[in-house]
Amino acid sequence: MILVTGGAGFIGSNFVLDWLAQSDEPILNLDKLTYAGNLENLCSLQNNPGHIFVQGDMGNDQLLGTLLVRHTPRAIVNFAAESHVDRSIHSPNDFVQTNIVSTFQLLETTRAYWNTLPTQAQKAFRFLHISTDEVYGSLDKDDPAFTEQHRYAPNSPYSASKAASDHLVRAAHHTYGLPTLTTHCSNNYGPYHFPEKLIPLMIVNALADKPLPVYGDGLQVRDWLYVKDHCSALRRVLHAGTPGQTYNIGGGNERTNIELVHTICTLLDKLHPKKDGQSYQTQIRFVTDRPGHDRRYAINAEKIERELGWKPAETFETGIRKTVQWYLDHSEWIEHVQTGSYRAWIEKHYTEPA
């Protein structure tokens, strides 16, 4: 068994679904179910004995300690995090508490459990920590992409809190020998993405005939990674990564924000034309930029390809089309997220105590 924290969030739920579609090894899924945790993402697993869900905080050492002793996982995959930059600007304390304090408590409880394992089980154990390219800061237009050796230069409360958690994971390995792995991913997109992030927000607003807000001049550059490609990379790192190492995971798809929005509008024009015959691009509106907005991120993923043989399966064109189509096909999911009714899912379907 493996234990996944944050497995009801966007990337975490995709990882859980993909894992159980390809493996008979069960998953213990621990999620606090904050606003971005959505068990409706995992409704297809409701009767799957390989998925054990527990609502709880990874920083609750008593709960986590009990779960580790009861289920004896061979690995922990840590997705749990506050991850929205805009929210971190307005409420940085939540990010410090979750991304730093709770990650530290997770590491401490894991280390205590790991110390009780037989020698061979200790050697086989892995703690995989999911981080972000944002810890590296911002790149100028012609700068080379981030490598694993790039210095940390976080610019938002979110990225600063993730950088701190990365350092704690590194220290747990170098000081105590805990077999840790850290990954830095570029911007993810795909199914089950909470519609406060750029791509789902543009799709949902376009379909609702609302403005498509683009920060500043729209020329900020991001590297886009299809979420299922990210999940396949994480499985590979968990299987073959070297303890103590970090691996960058990117899609090799740099796009400006405005270029991305135009692509989404063009796809919607083809797949779901407006009744008035106009393009969705008429809904684009430029809005005041957010404070400290990083200009460019770009990931160099040569290490994971060279050492572990992984590279993304989707191009940006295939991935974004699949994503737009998924949202067109899942209007009920969008409605539940927007109305908040998705939060009733646990009360209706998960009544067993932890």
Which are the catalytic amino acids?
A: 133-134, 158
Q: Can you read off the two tokens belonging to residue 51?
A: 């998925």
Name 199's Cβ contacts closer than 8 Å, sequence gap at least 6: 189, 193, 260, 264, 320, 323
Q: Can you read off the two tokens belonging to residue 110?
A: 């894991």
Going along the chain, which residue ranges are E strands? 2-5, 27-31, 51-55, 75-78, 126-132, 180-185, 187-189, 212-215, 221-226, 246-249, 254-256, 284-287
> Which residue bears the tokens 């590491």?
107
Question: Is residue 137 within 8 Å of 86, Cβ to Cβ?
Answer: no
Whose CA is closest to 251, among 307, 304, 194, 322? Answer: 304
Q: How many CB atoms lie within 10 A of CB 335?
A: 11
**Across the chain, how many H-helices and E-strands are there?**
14, 12
